[in-house]
Amino acid sequence: MKNNFVRSLSPLESEVVLALEWQEKPVISRAEIADLFGGSTDRADRVIRSLRRKNWLQRISGGRYLLIPAERGPSGIPDSNMLAVGQHLVEPYYYGYATAAAHYRFTAQSRSVAWIVTTKQVPERSIRNTTFRFVCVTPRKFFGFQPTVVYEQKMQMSDREKTVIDCVDQPDFAGGIGELTRIIASAAPKLDWGKFCDYAVKFGSVAVVQRFGSLADRAKVEMPKESRRTLHLLLKRNSRSFLASPKVWGTDGRYDREWQVIVNLPDREILSEI
């Protein structure tokens, strides 16, 4: 059926939309709209309701709205690049885990869930069939990201090396141990191993080194000898850990002496995706 709906603007609404487009500002708050009207929240709320109804504004969080600009056409087709929408949900941020792994083609997982790393506690949000899940990390672990272009729009994404380390740290956010092994195997030929080892030192987790080393060996990754030595130096005496969550897989398993890790799940699970 032909869509006969054409977006229109009243003088007050034009003031808001033109201000946003002139400033190249994709997101505006309720308070900022009220400021355009001399601080009147009543007028701001009326305009917001109307602009949302006419497909000029899309609510992205409490009191914050994303402009659907004139270039999106007379019917106001929302941006289909949901990562471009999600980047406005929190500051600071970067896309990581399975989302970054999919961007680098280390995994073929669905993008219906987008993983955002931040230093704040933010509840999960769903916008147009995409679920945004926020992972709060300590400032010490908030590094290793860069501006990245996704469908012609720039946003913050973990780089290849940090993507692997983050996924090893939180396998559930990467799709589980089997998918993590696939990510490691796919990423290995493209890694800057010197940077990867520097990141491992900075990240400061023995368990991450143990899990990565054990999975890399099982995936037959060709790790440079110098990098292997560097990672071995990060291990500590009697620093045993489990390859997978003992709550899920139990505590029984064979001991990987080189990486000091108890392999508490079968190889068919570890290698299920490669």
Question: Is residue 258 in a domain?
Answer: yes
Describe the strand order of the beta sheet including 57-61 as a list of residue ranges.
27-29, 64-67, 57-61
Same domain (yes/no): 94, 73: no
Among 23-32, 39-48, 98-107, whose mean pLDDT is lowest? 23-32
pLDDT at 3: 46
Final residue belonging to a domain, choices 32, 51, 78 = 78
Q: How far is CA 19 from CA 12, 44, 199, 215, in A?
A: 11, 14, 43, 53
Final residue belonging to a domain, choices 78, 94, 114 = 78
Taking 70 as the threshold, does the pLDDT of residue 5 lie above it?
no
Question: Is residue 4 in a domain?
Answer: no
Among 143-147, 150-154, 225-229, whose mean pLDDT is lowest? 150-154
pLDDT in tens, 85-122: 888 899 999 999 999 999 999 998 767 899 999 999 99
pLDDT in tens, 122-138: 999 988 788 999 999 99
Find tokens 């990201």 and name the residue.
Answer: 145
Alpha helix stretches (DSSP H) within 23-108: 30-36, 41-53, 82-86, 97-103
Element (H, E) at 153: strand 153-158
Residue type, 99: T
Q: How far is CA 220 from CA 24, 181, 186, 188, 189, in A?
A: 49, 10, 11, 10, 12
The residue range of the domain holding 87 is 83-270
Same domain (yes/no): 162, 195: yes
